[in-house]
Structure 1
Amino acid sequence: MTAHLSRRTLLGLVGAGAGAYLLTGCGDGESGDPDAPQAVNWWHIQNTEPMLPVWAAMAQEYQGAHPNVTVEIQPLENEAFKAKLTTATQAGSPPDLFQSWGGGLLKQQVDAGLVKDLTDDVRPWIGGLLPAAVQPFTVDGKIYGVPFDVGMVGFWYNKDLFASAGVTAAPTSWAGVLDAVRRLKAAGTVPIALAGKEKWPAHYYWAYLAMRIGGLGALQQAAKDNNFETPDFVAAGDRLKELVDLQPFQKGFLGADYSSPDGQAATMGNGRAAMELMGQWAPSVQASASTGRKGLGDKLGFFPFPAVDGGKGSASEAFGGGNGFAVGKDAPAATVDFLKALLTADNQRRAARTGAVLPTVRDATDAISDPNNKIVAATLASATGFQLYLDQAYPPAVGQQVNDSVAELIAGSKTPAQIVKDITTVAKSQ
């Protein structure tokens, strides 16, 4: 999203960060006694509309029902959150409740004894969640985080710009994507919006191409062998270079953020580019970042990342992840109970109705109303395989190198063969 969502976006929602929100209760301090005054420090990245006020309202309601509990909310922009969490965890003092995407970073936090084993606490209700959503938060058979959102990355496109360029159907092959890019350029339209500065959005292209060319097995084998110097990964870089050579991205993309007023999401939301490869949160961030905060509305469409001719992977295999929360090692007793409250079916429906969240609670999926999000949810439900974002699935140093290396490939400073060598070097050093 790291992201990337990156990230990931399932990654961050738009905004320049916000200060701590103190929702007052009566008392402070921490205690294992559920009736004693308790303060829960909560860090999350839903730092603008639409989810910022929704989370705040849920915390306020919980405090109303639990007068001894104070919830201190720290909403942070995605990259700022990651930096601040790194500082906190290196100091051995993670927040009580904090954003997590599971995967390799969560495993490191588990190994370092920074997060609580939630297995017994959540056993009575975790069965109501989609198993695929819980999987990234499961380490060695134990649950260390709870997802509130699950989804996948795919292409979001402007139907009007496609039609104006003579692209009459969503591409079903990588060759079709390249053809659409050529047609859009010929029509004077920027084909793709990309936040080159943040790197995690670009890694989606390389990761998906590696999946489509090598199949999920190639990604899993690379994690076991710490080796990315294989023909499938090199080919993924070659296919990505085909796209880059068409110069499909907006002017200044290498310096563009994801959620700033002139960034990737705003470029899409304001109709200045025809498509972006992004997670399920894309429509809400486009709207938040665009002029008038309207976005594209019914002009916006979605299609899954297509197959690559001759590839071993299936177009029915999904790439994405979920936003969730982990609980810090010293969190007060009320933290897990508050987390349970956030994951009730009613609260999940409230989150789903914003359009920014695809719920993980089965009983709340009926609240998905956006037509595109329904497509995303249906595509994910029928997926034959699932891969977590590479910058989250692999150890953090490897994930960061993936992001850095793909950025170098897109900038033209490294070749497909060079980037897999660099990633392998870091993987073998872990």
Structure 2
Amino acid sequence: MAAAEAALADAQAAAEEALSEAAAAQAEAAAAQAEADEAREAAAAAQAEAEAAQAEADEARAEAAAAAAAAAEAEAAAAAVDPITLEFWSWNNEGAYPVVHEQAEERFEAAFPHVDVVRTYTPFADYMTNLRAAIAAGEPPDVAQVPWTGEYTDLVNGGAIASLAGDFTTGFPEFFPPIASIASVNGVPFAIPLDVNSLQIAYNKDIFAELGLEVPRSSDALKAVAAALDEAGYFGVAVGTNDGWAAADLFFAQLAYTDPTNTLIVQADAGAATWDDPQFLAAAENLEDLIANGVFAPGANSMVSFVGALELFVAQQAAMFYPVGNFITGGIAAQVEDSFEWGLFPFPSPDGGEGFATGGVAEMFSIPADAANVDMGIEFMRWLTDAESEASLVSNDFIPSWGIELPDDVSNLYRDLIAAQATVRNRTIYTTPVYTEVINGAQGLLGGTISAADMIEAMAGAG
């Protein structure tokens, strides 16, 4: 009996051990199954990633192939387009104008790889002679700077300039109405005005402070300043009237005060007033008086404005320099650097009243009618007046010919130039023979060869 019970107990223990081993084996099998399932999922994920990577690679190859095809197509198209040399003429290589021109040129050439813009700068004294000769020969530039005087209207009336009537409002900014009027002849635009100016006298603040001088607000005060400067060994106003336009501007600076309505030139151009009007004579007499009292540095007629005359100012031999507009302020700053402080004031009035700068269009460009690339020339002018060129103009102290939002970081000098624009006086005569006599007359007054009355008589005879 006892033996049977012992056997039963052994059998029961063996059964329980077998069951335990079976359970352990089952658990191991389940774990193995789980590992297998996880491995299969990982393999599936890896397969999916591989397929996605393959798809991305296929897409990248397709994009690369498309880009290569587009590049080849563009290269073929460029090769099929005849290269163009776009001739751009200007006389303004002083100051920062070349910077503005070059920046527009670089952007334009990047957009039109088949176009090569070639800039040619010629001194103003020779510029119009060269331009008229090129037009007469049938080989004018594609884009030509034109003056704001009667020489421009003469070219237009002679059929030498292409009308911009269909292009003036397409892709160009909205120019100030008075400036758009200057660029037009009989209401038709023939030029694109780039920027405007206001002409004033630059003065050396350090020299003025050294001698205890104040900015003159009347003609008598200007003469007194010139006398004090002479006594101290300095010249007064350096001006280079070998450039005829600078000579004329001396006259216009006085006319700003003898013509209080600022309408006399326009009336005389239209035949509604005569060129020997007493107001013209008074302006010439005022200039004659300033010359006689030593206001201007000697040798004006032998000096070019932005070479000899400006050099006297930069070298601090002359305490003042005229005429200064935004077209040259950057050039003055670059040459003066930190050697002295300088500022601007308008030519003072005879009686000490409000001072006025003279002004108008600075740079203005036309497309010659016989130019080889009229359409491309117009397109280049759009780039020269676009938003990026506007920023370039402002950063270099130029005043665009259209309304702008003034940046916060502009200099006080620029703000002064903008403020002067509000009251600028006319400096534009469109009757070319008369304008020539204004130049000759002012040069004659400076040289002491004629009188104010002689100058006005010559103007009347030319008109």
Q: CA deviation at 1:189?
A: 1.9
> Is 1:336 aligned with 2:378?
yes
TM-score by length of 1: 0.80
More helix by share: 2
Query: C-alpha distance in 2, partners of 1:235/1:131?
Result: 31
Alignment deviations for residues 156-185 of structure 1 (CA, whole Å, 9 cap, x no partner): 1111112223222x2222222222222222
Pairing of 1:354-393 with structure 2 (within 5 A) = 354-355=396-397, 357-363=398-404, 365-366=406-407, 369-380=410-421, 382-383=422-423, 386-387=425-426, 389-390=427-428, 393=429
Q: CA deviation at 1:62?
A: 0.9
* Aligned twin of 1:322: 362
Pick closer, same or farther for the CA change 1:194–1:386 going to 2, 3 Å.
closer
Alignment deviations for residues 278-309 of structure 1 (CA, whole Å, 9 cap, x no partner): 13123233356xxxx33567611111223333
Q: CA deviation at 1:367?
A: 8.3
* Aligned twin of 1:234: 281
* Aligned twin of 2:313: 268
Query: C-alpha distance in 1, partners of 2:376/2:408?
Result: 28
- SS of 1:62's equivalent in the other structure is helix
- SS of 2:247's equivalent in the other structure is helix
> Aligned match of 2:270 in 210, 213, 224?
224
> Is 1:250 aligned with 2:294?
no
Query: C-alpha distance in 2, partners of 1:217/1:342?
Result: 32
Pairing of 1:16-415 with structure 2 (within 5 A) = 37-47=83-93, 50-168=96-214, 170-215=215-260, 216-225=262-271, 227-260=274-307, 263-280=308-325, 281-287=327-333, 293-295=335-337, 299-309=341-351, 315-316=355-356, 318-331=358-371, 332=373, 333-355=375-397, 357-363=398-404, 365-366=406-407, 369-380=410-421, 382-383=422-423, 386-387=425-426, 389-390=427-428, 393-415=429-451
Q: CA deviation at 1:106?
A: 1.9
Aligned partner letter, 1:409: L
Q: CA deviation at 1:48?
A: 5.2
> Aligned-pair RMSD on alpha carbons?
2.8
Pick closer, same or farther for the CA change 1:152–1:297 going to 2, 3 Å.
farther
Asked if the contact 1:266/1:286 (under 8 Å) is kept, the reply is no
Asked if the contact 1:149/1:323 (under 8 Å) is kept, the reply is yes
Asked if the contact 2:94/2:306 (under 8 Å) is kept, the reply is no
Asked if the contact 2:198/2:357 (under 8 Å) is kept, the reply is no
After TM superposition, the structure 1 stretch with the greater mean CA deviation from structure 2, 194-203 or 155-164, is: 194-203
- SS of 1:301's equivalent in the other structure is strand
Aligned partner letter, 1:252: G
- SS of 1:328's equivalent in the other structure is coil
* Aligned twin of 2:456: 420
* Aligned twin of 2:14: none
List gaps (5 residues or longer) in structure 1.
1-25, 28-33
* Aligned twin of 1:13: none
Pick closer, same or farther for the CA change 1:233–1:354 going to 2, 3 Å.
same
Query: C-alpha distance in 1, partners of 2:301/2:117?
Result: 39
- SS of 1:276's equivalent in the other structure is strand
Q: CA deviation at 1:56?
A: 2.6
Aligned partner letter, 1:94: P
Aligned partner letter, 1:210: L
Pick closer, same or farther for the CA change 1:196–1:127 going to 2, 3 Å.
closer
Q: How many positions carry a matched residue from both structures?
A: 381
List gaps (5 residues or longer) in structure 2.
1-74
Pick closer, same or farther for the CA change 1:257–1:234 going to 2, 3 Å.
same
- SS of 1:271's equivalent in the other structure is coil
- SS of 1:43's equivalent in the other structure is strand
Aligned partner letter, 1:75: Y
Asked if the contact 1:250/1:273 (under 8 Å) is kept, the reply is yes
Asked if the contact 1:102/1:136 (under 8 Å) is kept, the reply is yes
Q: CA deviation at 1:103?
A: 3.9
TM-score by length of 2: 0.75
- SS of 1:153's equivalent in the other structure is strand
Q: CA deviation at 1:202?
A: 2.4
Query: C-alpha distance in 2, partners of 1:155/1:351?
Result: 22
Pick closer, same or farther for the CA change 1:268–1:37 going to 2, 3 Å.
same
Asked if the contact 1:151/1:279 (under 8 Å) is kept, the reply is no
Asked if the contact 1:161/1:189 (under 8 Å) is kept, the reply is no
Pick closer, same or farther for the CA change 1:365–1:45 going to 2, 3 Å.
farther
- SS of 2:197's equivalent in the other structure is strand
Q: CA deviation at 1:91?
A: 3.5
Asked if the contact 2:348/2:355 (under 8 Å) is kept, the reply is yes
